[in-house]
Chains A and B, each alone.
Chain A
């Protein structure tokens, strides 16, 4: 049972300011190669940093993954969303290449009906706010960092 929370000022779920633009040397969003086994190659060639990825995961202005996913590994954060499946043990269910594909563009990796945003995709909705036009939600390196972090979620 859930005790009802007073959520008065807890803030908007997904509003944010940070944006991301492609860096030279990164695989550009339109050039990402999806295979049946996921996205095999790193987007940057630089190994992901799981500690940074952990921060991207919870940060409301970056991944804000906690908006939709329960993640027992981040107990210090108060609010975990229920819109997506819990990510406990995600690395037991998916390979690194699959996790990379899901984060880059879940519509391509999971189902085109999903609510989950494509974090490194430019196939966006209409009327993108001009602050974010032509930009991906995360940078290529932030994607690699999140993937490194997700790869640590084992049960």
Chain B
């Protein structure tokens, strides 16, 4: 192949030159330092696993987008985190309790929670996601109303709780009662769906590092969720992202909170085992 030079007159501010043929740009080598601490954005994949090397989606973003995540004052998700903290301490519901009534200081009691979700729940007989666990606490312990999956308060709370695990390695249970859920998630991950007839693996396993028109394909990990997307102009849940990718391939998405999306969430978390939790991450 020759190296014809195409002019990439940027649709936005940036313009650049792309030399076709030389430049299949994989992840970059930037380091994710927040508050003087480095977060793990790549590691060797486990023997026999699908990914030889595991990379956070942050490593595939443009440096301007990456920069938002380096400084909590620049990170546009932080007003929501502040709201989450406020909600944590707000008494709501007939029981006259707040989250803090039972769980005290989130920075101690919620450490590691995001990193291990979804988590098996014996009483429920299925895994809890962070969202379903929050709602279970609200309805059973606070005697307050459940929040909708994508409600601003829910996103604020999942960001605030998620932040308490920032930097910790993703580590979900996949054996025991979780195994069949993980297997189901894997099956969904490799199934071709939609009129465009593609699986998650077609983009995020077979083609990460390449451009798909204006988008730089990552491995599609979920260690940064809820994530602030510049395109959304706000935070979105893991299941919102799944839904978007399915719509792009002209498939009917599963519902947020469905067993299918919970299984897919578990499987994706397990594929990213060892990546640092980045919540709340920033993506374009």
Contact = CB atoms under 8 A, between A and B. Distances in A.
Given A1-B22, A8-B12, A66-B213, 5 more contacts: A4-B14, A14-B196, A80-B20, A127-B246, A127-B251
A125 B214 contact: no
B2 A125 contact: no
Interface string B219-243: 0000000000011000000000000
29 contacts: A2-B23, A4-B63, A4-B64, A6-B10, A6-B14, A6-B65, A7-B12, A7-B215, A8-B231, A8-B284, A10-B214, A12-B244, A13-B214, A14-B196, A60-B213, A64-B213, A70-B20, A75-B6, A79-B213, A80-B6, A80-B20, A82-B24, A83-B210, A88-B2, A115-B202, A124-B195, A124-B197, A125-B198, A137-B196
A46 interface: no
Closest 6 CB pairs of A and B: A3-B16, A10-B214, A125-B192, A132-B195, A125-B193, A79-B214
A2 B247 contact: no
A12 B248 contact: yes
A9 B231 contact: yes
Interface of A: 1-16, 60, 64, 66-68, 70, 72, 75, 78-83, 85-86, 88, 107, 115, 117-118, 123-132, 135, 137
Contact of A6 (B1, B62, B197, B203): B62
B211 A125 contact: no
B62 A4 contact: yes
Nearest to A105: B197
Interface in B198-222: 198-199, 202-203, 206-207, 210-217
Interface in B1-16: 1-2, 4, 6-14, 16
B241 to A, nearest CB: 12
Residue of B28, B193, B214 with highest tally of chain A CB at under 10 A: B214
A75 B252 contact: no
A5 B210 CA distance: 13
Contacts of B11: 9-10, 78-79
Contacts of A67: 212-213
Contacts of A12: 215, 244, 248
Contacts of A127: 193-194, 246, 251-252
Contact of B250 (A4, A82, A118, A132): A132
A1 B195 contact: no
B192 A80 contact: no
Contact of B206 (A3, A115, A118): A115
B186 to A, nearest CB: 16
B124 interface: no
B18 A14 contact: no
